Amino acid sequence: MYLFGLVLQLGASIIPYYLCGMMDKKVRVRFAPSPTGGLHLGGVRTVLFNYLFAKHHGGDFIVRIEDTDQTRFVAGAEAYIFECLAWCGLTPDESPLHGGPHAPYRQSERKAMYSQYAMQLVQNGQAYYAFDTPEELDAKRKEFPNFQYNYQHRTGLRNSLMLSEAETQLLLQNGTPWVIRIKMPDNEDIRFTDMIRGDVHFNSSQSDDKVLLKADGMPTYHLAVVVDDYLMQITHAFRGEEWLPSAPVHVLLWQYLFGLQHMPQWAHLPLILKPDGNGKLSKRDGDRLGFPVFAMNWTDPRTNDFAQGFRERGFLPEAFVNMLAMLGWNDGTGQEIFSLPELIERFSMDRVHKGGAKFDFEKAKWFNQEWIKNTPVQHYSAQVKLLFEQAGILITNDTQFETVLHLVKERCIVLNDFVQQAAFFFATPQNIDIAAIKPKWDEKKNQFFLELIRAFELTTLWQHDELEKELKEMAAAHQLKPGELMLPLRIMLVGGKFGPGVFDIAGIIGREATISRITHTLQLLQA
């Protein structure tokens, strides 16, 4: 007996509270987006934390589509969400796309399941029918400055609380539109423990009588989330902080319907804020400040409104995920670069922040640069090759292409930078920055390069060291400093003041191209 107690105590001190009592249950989390548009940074981060937590604990990650509002249905949005997840490498264990034992995973297809629970609440006096029209409600809102459908006002409205049983039945039989609302208890303390914020409590009177079942027979989020989390055996529920104020409704629903002991542990994630000023980061901020907010390109089919994605901006999914993980979480060691498997291993809820984080695109770019730099080019060369082809540059030699990518990769922040940084390896530069050469150009240098061409024509070993040696020796003979020659030569070969070492470039583009580019620029300088 004594020993048993000791073991329990020990156990309690080691195991986080949010896993206590869950030891026998497999961890199951869900991401529950509504398919109304592009997938936002914050959405992906919610997915990520769900995923990391589940995988860290060997659990399941479920995606459930919350499409209970048919007026907001957007064609293609669901497919887009799954494509984003696939791009990020966050594969669901169960979803409408991947199937699973709790199908269907679209709430619109689960419509029939919800009403029985709403009815049960009505039966138990925990919810009621309301017949008020939207117009009547609007009128009330105008009449009272802070109108809420609550203990204060529900007596003055048209609902089964006020109507007699017969009147209610008559209205129902006549086909009068109705909704079911939860009856929020008066002045009750509702509390729960949030994994991130600890004990949170609300007074029940503060919330209004939320609609549970809409006039079209669909549940609202409030009912659907509770019913489905129960049916799908969700153990931990992550969502944005904006949901905190409606949590008491959900806690109450759990208490009424399934019992608090089955309620998942809640975690309300801090918000991702706009870089300047305050407030939630929105697509609008991205447009304004020139950075993507969505994971991938998204065009709203209704408005044709286009939003650029991180993927198309040239981000590696590894970098995108890494950057998102660090927005609100860190492992305490100062390490910032993590692969997905590392994140899974290190992730823990007790290191998730409470406060929101302003999104910093500069830092996001740094993550991508690090990933480009530290990843073998083979990993992304196919994608970069496509970028070259889009720019009208055909790549024929893959081995040489990858050599070039490797040579320039630390100069690239996004994948698209490779085109600018390496196009001149495969195509003669169209624009030569003559203005950068001209001020210090003279006949002496002209003669030098003329002679350099002749020497290059005869060079036997066309490679870096040999070419450098030749230029230096010839510079000495002409009483010129190599430094005065390097920049002109670079511009002749590259077109501008960028790129890797000049002799590396000459070595790769070959004798013919090197000579012809020098000749061409010399002609331009003559003109």
Partner RNA sequence: GGAGCGUUGGUCAAGGGGUUAAGACACCUCCCUUUCACGGAGGAAUCACGGGUUCGAUUCCCGUACGCUCUACCA
Site for RNA in 285-324 (CB under 7 A): none
Minimum CB–partner distance for residue 235 and RNA (Å): 20
Among 24, 143, 165, 362, binds RNA (CB under 7 A): 362
- CA dist 385 and 397 (Å) reads 11
With CB under 7 A as the contact rule, the residue among 91, 108, 233, 246 that binds RNA is 246
The rounded distance, in Å, linking the Cα atoms of 85 and 317 is 10
Distance from C-alpha of 422 to C-alpha of 387, rounded to nearest angstrom: 11
Q: Is 283 a catalytic residue?
A: yes
Q: Is 314 exposed, middle or buried (0-12, 13-18, 19+ CB in 10 A)?
A: buried
By the rule CB under 7 A, 357 interacts with RNA:
yes
- 11-40: which residues touch RNA (CB under 7 A)? 32-34
Q: Which of 55, 183, 274, 283 is catalytic?
A: 283
CB 285 within 8 A of CB 224: no
193 binds RNA, rule: CB under 7 A:
no
Which residue stretch of 204-212, 289-297, 313-321, 515-523 sits at the interface with RNA (rule: CB under 7 A)? 204-212
Q: Does 334 bind RNA (CB under 7 A)?
A: yes
4's CB contacts (< 8 A; 6+ apart) are none
Per-residue contact flags (x/-) with RNA for residues 366 to 385, judged by CB under 7 A: x--x---x------------
Binding of residue 469 to RNA (CB under 7 A): no
Rounded Cα distance between 182 and 186, Å, is 12
**Does residue 410 belong to the site contacting RNA (CB under 7 A)?**
yes
> In angstroms, what is the minimal distance from the CB of 60 to RNA?
20
Q: Is 256 exposed, middle or buried (0-12, 13-18, 19+ CB in 10 A)?
A: middle
CA atoms within 13 A on the CB side of 418: 31
Residue 80's closest CA among 233, 309, 274?
309
d(Cα 61, Cα 29) in Å, to the nearest integer? Answer: 5
**What are the beta bridge partners of residue 180?**
129, 213
> Which of 56, 106, 358, 464 is the binder for RNA (CB under 7 A)?
358
The nearer residue to RNA, 159 or 308, going by C-beta atoms, is: 159
> Does residue 220 belong to the site contacting RNA (CB under 7 A)?
yes
The 139-178 contact track toward RNA, x by CB under 7 A, reads --x----xxxx---------------------------x-
Residues from 224 through 243 that contact RNA (CB under 7 A): 241-243
From 22-30, 51-59, 276-284, 295-303, span contacting RNA (CB under 7 A): 276-284
Backbone dihedral angles phi then psi of residue 93, each to the nearest 5 degrees? -85, -30
Q: Choose which of 42, 264, 499, 507 interacts with RNA (CB under 7 A).
A: 499
Alpha helices in 130-259 (DSSP H): 134-143, 165-173, 221-231, 247-257
- Indicate which single residue of 72, 288, 379, 444 sits in contact with RNA (rule: CB under 7 A): 72
Cβ at position 205, least distance to RNA in Å: 9
Alpha carbons 224 and 116: distance in angstroms, whole number: 12
One residue of 16, 89, 156, 279 binding RNA per CB under 7 A: 279
Stretch of residues binding RNA (CB under 7 A), selected from 115-123, 244-252, 340-348, 444-452: 244-252
For the chain, the maximum distance between any two Cα atoms, rounded to a whole number of angstroms, is: 112
Which sequence positions are flagged as catalytic?
283
